[in-house]
Amino acid sequence: MEEIQTFGARRFEGKTAVVTGGAGGIGSAICARLAAEGARVVIADADEAPANELARELRAAGFQATASAFDLLDAGACAGAINQVLAEHGRIDVLVNNAGVNRRGTLLEITDAAWELSFAVNLDSLYRLSRLVLPAMQAQGGGAIVNTASQWGISPAPGHIAYNVSKAAVIAFTKNLARDYAPEQIRVNAIAPGEVLTPMVEAGLARSGRTVEQLDALVPFGRVGRPAEIAALVAFLASDEAPYLCGSVVEITGAQAVA
């Protein structure tokens, strides 16, 4: 995780936020940003150890954070986790559906298992978590859901059909959910990042022999994105500073075309 920062703004004071994939590169930055702005952050991740470690780091910095380790593919585990959050905090103001997987391959290369996993994590988990959280948001008079889509869900990259199509479905899901629940003051938006320098991307570069500088050269802005920059956009969309943003898909790419 990048260095924990503090911010003058306290846009999430008294609010509870659940972030899936919360211990990952982008997820941990989102958790840190929301916590630094006053949220009670629930770090939802399948990997218990890093989720617990991140929660400890955030608490040591003076923020409110707990870890919730469960499998997004297990409907019962999802229900149990959300019920626990509601029992402890009484409300869920922000849901960030950030967890995702990227399985490579063209249609004739990808396996059935990789295709099914892509949709199970990238789309079905949004369906499952949103259904669990929406009744609480309805009861409290509103809330915000931010979904992590991808630039590739808008302009597909070659050789990634399962990822591209599942992220395109995230965009459609976001717009449908927003249209249905905007009348109840539940705002649903999506972000569509381009390349972001996460530990996973860095590991991929190391395996391929490519450098960060080579990746940066593909971006008109001069470099790839940073997790903290994605987190800042998520925080804005989830905050009361974006009261009329609903059903939007915001690209954050440094003006990069598809990699």
- Residue 215 maps to a domain: no
What is residue 7's predicted lDDT score, i.e. its pLDDT? 65
Cβ–Cβ contacts within 10 Å for residue 2, how many?
12
Euclidean distance between CA atoms 36 and 7, whole angstroms: 6
163 is catalytic: yes
Of the residues 127, 163, 181, 244, which is catalytic?
Answer: 163
At which residue do the structure tokens 């059935």 appear?
112
Tens of pLDDT, residue by residue over 90-149, are: 999 999 999 999 999 999 999 999 999 999 999 999 999 999 999 999 999 999 999 999
Q: Could you tell me if residue 127 is inside a domain?
A: yes
Instruction: Tell me: pLDDT of 259 over 90.
Output: no
> Residue 214: inside a domain, yes or no?
no
CA–CA distance, 154 with 216 (Å, rounded to integer): 21
Number of domains in the chain: 1
CATH number of the domain to which 57 belongs: 3.40.50.720
Q: What is the pLDDT of residue 203?
A: 83
**Residue at 244 is within a domain:** yes
Instruction: Answer whether residue 34 shows pLDDT above 90.
Output: yes
Report which of 128, 130, 72 is spatially closest to residue 96, judged by C-alpha positions: 130
Q: Which domain holds residue 126?
A: 16-194+224-252
Question: Does residue 217 lie in a domain region?
Answer: no
The string of pLDDT tens digits covering residues 157-191 is 999 999 999 999 999 999 999 999 999 999 999 99
Is residue 6, in this structure, part of any structural domain at all?
A: no
**Is 211 within a domain?**
no
Averaged pLDDT score across all residues of the chain: 95
Whether the CB-CB separation of 30 and 231 falls below 8 Å is answered with yes
Closest alpha carbon to 96 in 191, 172, 18: 18
Q: Is the pLDDT of residue 3 over 80?
A: no
The mean pLDDT value for 15-38 works out to: 98
User: Which distant-in-sequence residues (6+ apart) come within 8 Å of 101 by Cβ?
Assistant: 117, 118, 121, 122, 163
Question: Which pTM was predicted?
Answer: 0.94
